[in-house]
Amino acid sequence: MQLDLFRHLFGLSLSFFNRQRTGELVSRLDADTRATSAGLETVTCTLLSAPVLIAFYGYLMVRTSPTLVVAALAAAALHLGVTRGIRGPIRRFATDQFTVLADLVARLQEAILSVRVVKSFAAERFEAARLTSTLRNVLRVNVKYGAYKHAEEPARTAVGYIVEAGIVLLAARELLAGRLTVATFFLFLYVGRAVVAQMSALAGAYTQIQATLAASTRIAGLFAIEPEVKDGPETITDFREGIVVRDVSFDYGGERVLEGTSFEVRKGEIVALVGPSGVGKSTLADLILRLYDPVAGTITIDGHDLRALRQEPYRRLFGVVPQEPLLFNASIRENIAYGRGDLSEADIVRAAQIANAHGFIGEFTDGYDTMVGDRGVRLSGGQRQRVALARAIVGRPPILLLDEATSSLDSESERLVQQAIERVIQAATSIVIAHRLSTVLHADKIVVMNRGRVEAVGRHADLLSASETYSRLYRYQFNPLDSCASVGGAPAPRRPAAHTTPS
């Protein structure tokens, strides 16, 4: 069940994960699936065997004494009353328990993943207070659930004693009245106790099912979710002509992020997407990868609408380097070869060399077997970015998509990564989202975006005069003082030097 749910979740669209807390999904994959299958074998055996035994003992009761049938029916009514009394609360509180446990897992995961921020803001007490509040909710729900769950056994035991006492009294009365022989008397007691035991087991199994149903209902809710981005009937395995974005519009459920966006990427071109922050550059990259579908317009590759393609083989055409490279808690070798099982050691080393990563990897004691830690925390930002670049190119994809790959690096790391990028993009069709214009001055085509639209398309020299947005970005990055003056500002006054007293 865990595997089926995992496959289903990873078949859902990226928008689903944007709406969910990671810890809650982990809890559903772990705790809910285990609760759904826990005790299932015992419950199933009871549900299959108890009715058969009850029918058999019922036949013996009818043959032994009609009075015994009345006692059995009374026992069934008492067990039914107990079951109806605790069935609803157990299912409700079991659902609440899974919910608060999922919230607890999400809280713990968020705090651990953000430990650097927590410590930087000296917020350990704040996080402890938040966790305390969550644990209080967990305790409150567990107490309520436990009160009903553990009240079942004493209640059924009491019902069993009452019914057994009644059977003994009935049997004694029938024996004294001469309507039962001694042998029949003992058969009366045995059959009565046996049928009560099976009724108790059947009722207990039914109660246990309520907790299982609570977990399975939450899992069924996940299985019922359909992916927003669905596979089409066509398969594409190579790239021959180009990618065309035509009149594409997109939003995340509110204001439009992109509106009427159009441009073309021909095979072999280096195309840069530039513009101020928040104009939709990364969103456009996600649309090209078909992580989302546009709300209007089309994106085609070699004449095929992306909606008509199967997603996995299409995305295999791309090598992607995100703005914030995420590495897995594995070795450098495993991270470079991630998702591709047909690579040789030579392929991995070649990719590392092209990405300017082979040098620093060789300085580690374990070389390519060095563990990088969660999200690659044991490597510097520049090292992580170069490993991510090696991962993107190791499979020799025909298209590279680089999303501001140097925006958060220091000058030296940026230089090394940029050198690697310049080598890599010469061998593939490349779409580069650039924060620093110095990285795309020599692109074949620069797409300038502003307010969700394409303002201009051209080469660097042409755009300096044709695009106000591009010209302004260029001045900000290469002539910052002139940029301040051009918008009515002036250079900040120089701070006077501090006076010192000779010692």
Instruction: Give the whole-angstrom CA distance, residue 150 versus residue 152.
Output: 5
pLDDT tens per residue across span 415-454: 777 777 777 777 688 898 887 777 788 888 999 999 889 9
Residue 28's Cβ-side half-sphere holds a number of Cα atoms within 13 Å equal to 22
pLDDT tens per residue across span 78-126: 766 766 666 667 677 777 777 888 888 888 777 777 776 777 667 778 8
Percent of the chain with pLDDT over 90: 20
Is residue 45 pLDDT above 80, yes or no?
no
Query: Same fold for the domain at 2-223 and the one at 242-486?
Result: no
Instruction: Give the whole-angstrom CA distance, residue 70 versus residue 111.
Output: 61
Task: Report the DSSP beta bridge partners of residue 320.
Answer: 401
pLDDT tens per residue across span 176-216: 777 767 777 777 677 767 777 777 777 777 777 777 777 77
For the chain, how many residues are written? Answer: 503
pLDDT tens per residue across span 479-501: 654 544 444 443 434 334 444 43
Q: Are 427 and 448 in contact (CB under 8 A)?
A: no
Cα Rg for the chain, rounded, in angstroms?
35
Fold topology of 2-223: ABC transporter transmembrane region fold (1.20.1560)
Instruction: Give the whole-angstrom CA distance, residue 125 versus residue 256.
Output: 40
Between 52 and 350, name the one with better pLDDT.
Answer: 350
Mean pLDDT of the chain: 79
For the beta sheet containing 429-433, the strands, ordered from the edge strand earlier in sequence to the opposite edge, are 318-321, 399-403, 429-433, 270-274, 445-450, 453-458
Alpha helices in 224-301 (DSSP H): 281-288
* Confidence (pLDDT) at 413: 65
Q: Classify 242-486 by CATH class.
A: alpha beta
Q: At 450, give phi and psi (nearest 5°).
A: -155, 125
Domain ranges across the chain: 2-223, 242-486
CB neighbour burial string for 338-376, b if at least 16 within 10 angstroms, e if fewer = eeeeebeeebbbbbbebbbbbebbeeeeeebebebeeeb
For the beta sheet containing 304-305, the strands, ordered from the edge strand earlier in sequence to the opposite edge, are 256-266, 242-251, 296-301, 304-305
Is residue 250 pLDDT above 90, yes or no?
yes
The structure tokens listed for 181 are 């022989």
Q: Are 300 and 244 in contact (CB under 8 A)?
A: yes
* Confidence (pLDDT) at 491: 40
Mean pLDDT of 338-349: 87
* Confidence (pLDDT) at 245: 94
Instruction: Give the whole-angstrom CA distance, residue 201 versus residue 75.
Output: 13
pLDDT tens per residue across span 384-406: 888 988 998 888 889 989 887 66
Specify the DSSP element, H or E, that contains 226: none
